[in-house]
């Protein structure tokens, strides 16, 4: 058992609250909370907020009492801490500015799209993931094309250009529909992009947005614009080990409707398919920065699945 609880130090609603966490797995934490009768609404990304009146009973049920600093240290060491800057709600202002820079005066469409990325069943495929993909594009574009005018001309994906805008719009729509059904989600997201963007963009641009979204199903990226979106979407694979474990835990929660044996089998197949690729990252920049750490993470995860 590695469920921890800190003292009730956090005031709210006329009482003080403790944080209940696990330093090994969210599955363990959720099972403990359910057995203790803690409602799901008390869960906040990496912990449960529990009132002071429950503290003694939770310790008696097996939660280890620790100080607040020790709880935070062990949560970070276990890879399950979600820093405040990564919480989805912290991304909203930046995301709104980003959308408005591409499609100004479309507030209703913007909020509808953000609403999709904020649906309750999303744990990895949420606004945080959207922001991470967009920021990865910001990092890739100038490094991949900004210093070589010939490459920019040949690729037609220059930073700030129309092709770059199309890639960015594809990122905004690429998981707009998410039901946890691989392949079907991408097709539905592409159709949604066609329907919503057709009145706003030239037909060729809308078609390319849809094609790029469909590419994210298998990540077979041949063209430069597809390579940018594929690499930005897969950037998560190269996270530091603790952060990668948190990503895996979020993916598992996204597929909570799938049994554990079926999830392990399906996840292993995905990892094997990725590792079989000659290159996970298509762009020169992405390959140099992310290929090695991503392969280490994938191999470590696959070893764990095979051992289990």
Are 182 and 272 members of one domain?
no
Are 35 and 104 members of one domain?
no
How confident is the model at residue 34, as a pLDDT? 93
Residue 155 has pLDDT above 80, yes or no: no
**Residue 58 CB: number of other CB atoms within 10 A?**
21
The better pLDDT of the pair 41, 285 is held by: 285
Tell me the C-alpha distance between 160 and 282, whole Å.
21
Instruction: Compute the average pLDDT of residues 165-191.
Output: 94
Instruction: Compute the average pLDDT of residues 286-297.
Output: 97
Total residue count of the chain as it appears in this document = 308
pTM, to two decimals: 0.77
Q: 260-275 and 284-307 helices cross at what angle (nearest 10)? A: 140
Instruction: Compute the average pLDDT of residues 281-295.
Output: 96
Query: Is the sign of the CA dihedral 9, 12, 15, 21 positive or negative?
Result: negative
Residue that is last in its domain, among 236, 262, 281: 236
Residue that is last in its domain, among 236, 256, 275: 236
Are 100 and 218 members of one domain?
yes
Whole domain around residue 56: which residue ranges? 3-81
Residue 149 has pLDDT above 60, yes or no: no
Instruction: Compute the average pLDDT of residues 140-155.
Output: 68
- Tell me which residue of 269, 246, 255, 128 sits closest to 180, measured CA to CA: 255
Specify the pairing of strand 10-12 against strand 3-5: unpaired
Residue that is last in its domain, among 64, 81, 98: 81
Are 195 and 285 members of one domain?
no
Tell me the C-alpha distance between 164 and 152, whole Å.
11
Are 104 and 53 members of one domain?
no
Give tens-digit pLDDT for 193-203: 999 999 999 99
Are 276 and 300 members of one domain?
yes
Are 196 and 113 members of one domain?
yes
Residues 6 or more apart in contact with residue 53 via CB below 8 angstroms: 15
Q: What percent of the chain has pLDDT over 70?
A: 93
Residue 156 has pLDDT above 80, yes or no: no
84 exposure class (CB count in 10 Å sphere: 0-12, 13-18, 19+): exposed
Instruction: Compute the average pLDDT of residues 60-71.
Output: 94
Residue 110 has pLDDT above 90, yes or no: yes
How confident is the model at residue 209, as a pLDDT? 96
- Tell me which residue of 118, 220, 221, 213 sits closest to 175, measured CA to CA: 213
- Tell me which residue of 221, 307, 217, 308 sits closest to 270, measured CA to CA: 217
Instruction: Compute the average pLDDT of residues 216-230.
Output: 91
How confident is the model at residue 81, as a pLDDT? 80
Tell me the C-alpha distance between 229 and 223, whole Å.
10
Are 129 and 20 members of one domain?
no
Residue 49 has pLDDT above 90, yes or no: yes
Say how many domains are in the chain: 3
Chain mean pLDDT for the chain: 90
Are 152 and 244 members of one domain?
no
The better pLDDT of the pair 57, 241 is held by: 57
Residue 16 has pLDDT above 90, yes or no: yes
Q: What percent of the chain has pLDDT over 90?
A: 65
Give tens-digit pLDDT for 250-287: 898 888 888 999 999 999 999 999 999 999 999 999 99
Are 153 and 113 members of one domain?
yes
Residue 1 has pLDDT above 60, yes or no: no
Are 130 and 231 members of one domain?
yes
Are 41 and 110 members of one domain?
no
């Amino acid at each position: 058992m590695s469920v921890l609880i800190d003292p009730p130090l956090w005031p709210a609603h006329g009482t003080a609250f403790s944080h209940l966490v696990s330093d090994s797995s969210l599955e363990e934490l959720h099972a403990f909370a359910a057995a203790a009768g803690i409602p799901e609404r008390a869960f906040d990304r990496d912990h449960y907020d529990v009132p002071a009146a429950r503290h003694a009973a939770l310790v008696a049920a097996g939660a280890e009492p620790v100080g607040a600093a020790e709880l935070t240290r062990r949560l970070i060491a276990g890879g399950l801490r979600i820093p405040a800057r990564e919480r989805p709600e912290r991304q909203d202002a930046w995301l709104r500015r980003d959308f408005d820079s591409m499609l100004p005066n479309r507030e209703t469409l913007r909020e509808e799209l953000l609403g999709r990325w904020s649906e309750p069943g999303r744990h990895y495929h949420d606004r945080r993931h959207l922001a991470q993909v967009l920021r990865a594009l910001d990092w890739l574009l100038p490094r991949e094309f900004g210093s070589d005018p010939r490459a920019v001309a040949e690729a037609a994906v220059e930073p700030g250009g129309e092709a770059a805008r199309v890639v960015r719009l594809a990122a905004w729509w690429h998981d707009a529909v998410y039901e946890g059904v691989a392949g079907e989600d991408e097709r539905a997201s592409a159709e949604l992009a066609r329907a919503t963007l057709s009145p706003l963009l030239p037909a060729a641009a809308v078609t390319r947005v849809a094609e790029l979204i469909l590419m994210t199903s298998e990540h077979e990226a041949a063209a430069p614009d597809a390579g940018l979106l594929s690499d930005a979407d897969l950037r998560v694979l190269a996270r530091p080990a603790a952060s990668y474990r948190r990503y895996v835990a979020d993916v598992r929660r996204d597929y909570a409707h799938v049994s554990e044996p079926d999830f392990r089998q399906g996840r292993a197949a995905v990892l094997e398919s990725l590792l079989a690729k000659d290159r996970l990252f298509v762009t020169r920049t992405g390959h140099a920065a992310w290929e090695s750490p991503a392969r280490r993470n994938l191999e470590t995860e696959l070893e764990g699945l095979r051992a289990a």
